[in-house]
């Protein structure tokens, strides 16, 4: 019997999705007569993650006190370890009072159907200074050009807190039926596979050969039973490759280059924060909730631009106290194909190499090659994966 890692903060996973069909139908009917607000995309993504059990043991949106405490020291006011605020921010709460039950409408589906119902415990406003401090603490910058900072500060400053009941998984279960999975479902798959030691790989991009080999390395060195490739399916910054294209390219790579039944390809419904170190810790929390024992954290994990140091997302874990998080981190260096050794290596493990000994290509160079219908070298990208990406980029130009 596989011994699966406990979820974060509780002995059992407590997803907030209303599983009982008759109860869910009742709440959907009730929601039609409740005061309603349309959520921001970020708040909707938080609801999806709460519904799927990824944000266990949270029971809903955080209060102002919890959010400020989490931003300041990665603990809620009552001491639960948590790395980023999980908020429902709005520009106006007119007509809503503490104690109200309200319908939360989905901004990302036609007709804004009700995503969840919330019991409003408090309505509080962050001051400009509090928003600025919280932004700096979570994102490490208050630069409005940072996509995560812009999204966070663009929602409003009024915070609605309280427990929620989640009624569906937004567009994720319809648009990504083969890939979207809740933490509950992934736990069950891990259990069904008899896996105990499980490595998670986070991605918001297609996987090139270096990523693929990094997964093989982690599995080998940790003697893992299985790998969960877990891709973000929510909102990204302009220019990032859409989820369906990433999905197809990753599935092709797994089919061709991984042993049967050693890796599963899944996705989760969340918008990218680009919060670097803090987001890496959040990634670890929800990977523990889905049953992974290890998370690969590489160079500039969850970063964007030059806002974070190359390994800040690894060193943040060194300050987490024993017992606050049970999942372990597999610290990875930049990986690249070595022309000397004819294989992909972690660059720090090849001290006798100079830059020219590696096959290194910038993202821009790769996009240009793909757009021109030219496959990157096989040492950089598997030809089967490159073909899917070439088709996508050439379709953009047609």
Catalytic residues, which ones?
204-205
Letter string b/e over residues 328-362, b meaning 16 or more CB atoms within 10 A of that residue's CB: bbbbbbbbbbbeeeeebbbbeebeebeeebbbebe
Contacts of 250 (CB under 8 A, 6+ apart): 203, 206, 207, 229, 231, 265
What is the spatial distance between Cα 163 and Cα 121, in angstroms, rounded to a whole number? Answer: 8
Contact predicate 100/122, CB 8 Å = no
| CA-to-CA separations, 169 to 5, 15, 47, in angstroms, rounded | 25, 12, 8
Residues with Cβ within 8 Å of residue 391, at least 6 apart in sequence: none
Dist CA 131 CA 87 (whole Å): 12
138/135 Cα distance (integer angstroms): 5
Do 133 and 149 meet the contact criterion of CB atoms below 8 Å apart? Answer: no
> What is the spatial distance between Cα 370 and Cα 88, in angstroms, rounded to a whole number?
40
Q: 346 and 332 in contact (C-beta within 8 Å)?
A: yes
Q: How many whole angstroms separate alpha carbon 6 and alpha carbon 285?
A: 11
Strands (E) across 111-262 are located at 114-119, 122-125, 158-166, 198-203, 226-232
> Per-residue DSSP letters for 16-65?
-B---HHHHHHHHHHHTTS-EEEPPHHHHHHHHHHHTTTTTT--EEPPHH
Kindly report the backbone phi and psi dihedral angles of residue 219, in degrees, each rounded to the nearest multiple of 5, phi listed first.
-65, -40
């Amino acid at each position: 019997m596989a011994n699966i890692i406990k979820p974060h903060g509780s002995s059992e996973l407590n997803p907030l999705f209303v599983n009982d069909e008759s109860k869910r139908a009742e709440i959907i009917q009730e929601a039609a007569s409740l005061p309603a607000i349309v959520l921001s995309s970020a708040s909707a993504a938080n609801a999806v993650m709460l519904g799927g059990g990824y944000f266990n043991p949270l029971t809903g949106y955080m209060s102002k006190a919890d959010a400020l405490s989490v931003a300041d020291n990665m603990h809620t006011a009552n001491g639960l370890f948590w790395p980023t605020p999980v908020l429902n921010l709005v520009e106006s709460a007119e007509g809503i009072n503490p104690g109200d039950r309200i319908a939360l409408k989905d901004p990302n589906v036609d007709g804004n159907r009700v995503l969840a119902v919330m019991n409003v415990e408090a309505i509080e406003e962050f001051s400009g200074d509090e928003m600025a401090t919280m932004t700096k603490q979570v994102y490490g910058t208050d630069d409005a050009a940072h996509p995560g900072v812009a999204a966070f500060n663009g929602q409003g400053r009024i915070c609605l807190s309280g427990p929620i009941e989640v009624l569906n998984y937004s567009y994720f279960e319809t648009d990504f039926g083969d890939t979207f999975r809740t933490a509950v479902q992934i736990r069950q798959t891990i259990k069904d596979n008899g896996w105990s030691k499980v490595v998670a790989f986070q991605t918001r991009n297609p996987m090139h050969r270096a990523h693929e080999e990094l997964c093989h390395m982690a599995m080998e060195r940790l003697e893992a039973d299985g790998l969960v490739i877990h891709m973000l399916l929510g909102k990204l910054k302009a220019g990032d490759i859409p989820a369906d294209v990433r999905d197809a390219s990753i599935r092709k790579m797994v089919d061709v280059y991984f042993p049967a039944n050693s890796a599963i390809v899944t996705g989760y419904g969340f918008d990218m924060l680009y919060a670097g170190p803090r987001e890496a810790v959040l990634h670890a929390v929800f990977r523990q909730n889905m049953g992974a024992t290890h998370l690969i954290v590489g160079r500039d994990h969850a970063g964007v631009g030059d806002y974070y140091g190359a390994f800040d997302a690894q060193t943040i874990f060194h300050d987490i106290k024993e017992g606050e998080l049970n999942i372990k981190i597999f610290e990875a260096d930049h990986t690249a194909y070595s022309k000397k050794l004819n294989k992909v290596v972690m660059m720090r493990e090849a001290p006798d190499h100079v830059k020219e000994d590696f096959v290194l290509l910038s993202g821009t160079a790769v996009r240009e090659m793909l757009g021109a219908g030219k496959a990157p070298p096989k040492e950089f990208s598997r030809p089967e994966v490159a073909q899917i990406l070439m088709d996508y980029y050439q379709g953009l130009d047609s």
